[in-house]
Amino acid sequence: MSEARIITLPPGGMLLGLGSDLIDVDRIAGVLERQGDRFLNRVFTDEERAYCFSMKYPHKHLAARFAAKEAVSKAFTTGIGAELGWKSISVYHGSRHEPLVRLDEKGEGLLKQVGGTSVLLTLSHTDTAAMAVAAIVKAV
C-alpha cells in the first residue's frame, strides 16, 4: 500500500522550489542493519521512528521518510548539511493521513529566507522502492 496524494497549490499560490527523491527500501534496511540506532537517531525524529516501527513493514516507511527529507532539502536547493539537518525536516500525518512536513527553527528560517509559506509533500512506496516529491510554495 502506498502513501500518496495530489499536491495542489493554494489559489493564487506560487511554486518556489521542487525536489524529488527515490530510494531502494533495501538500502535503508542495509544501513539500519549496519548502523542500527546510530542511523535512526541521527536521521529520524522520535515521532517518525515511533510511527515507522508501529507499522508491519517499517523499512518501507523509513525509506519514504528518508526520501522526503532528501526531496525537501532539494526543493530548498541546500541538500542536507549545515543549513538544513536531517532532523530539521520531520514527516507526520494530517487528519486524512496525508503526509505533512514540520520544520525546525533552521528549516523555518530557510523557508522565510526563500519567501515560502509552506512545504507540500507526497510520498509513495512499494515493497522495494520509496519516493517523495516536495514543493516549497508561497501563498498569495
Range with lowest mean pLDDT among 7-11, 20-24, 32-36, 95-99: 7-11
pTM, whole model, 2 decimals?
A: 0.91
Q: Which of 131, 140, 129 is nearest to 11 (CA)?
A: 140
Distance CA 29, CA 2 (A): 18
Distance CA 27, CA 38 (A): 16
pLDDT at 11: 79
pLDDT at 7: 59
Question: pLDDT tens-digit profile of 102-131?
Answer: 999 999 999 999 999 999 999 999 999 999
pLDDT at 65: 99
Q: Which of 3, 6, 48, 47 is nearest to 28 (CA)?
A: 48
pLDDT at 2: 44
Q: Is the pLDDT of residue 140 over 60?
A: yes
Q: Residue range 1-17: average pLDDT?
A: 69
Looking at per-residue pLDDT, the higher value among 43 and 4 belongs to 43
Please, are residues 128 and 26 in contact by the beta-carbon 8 Å criterion?
A: yes
Please, are residues 85 and 110 in contact by the beta-carbon 8 Å criterion?
A: no
Q: Give the confidence band of 13 by pLDDT, cuts at 50, 70, 90.
A: confident
Q: Is there a binding annotation on residue 21?
A: yes
Q: Is there a binding annotation on residue 127?
A: no
Question: pLDDT tens-digit profile of 40-82?
Answer: 999 999 999 999 999 999 999 999 999 999 999 999 999 999 9
Mean pLDDT taken over the chain: 93
Q: Which of 29, 45, 37 is nearest to 129 (CA)?
A: 29
Strands 99-103, 129-138: pairing kind: unpaired
CB atoms within 10 A of CB 108: 13
Domains of the chain: 14-138 (3.90.470.20)
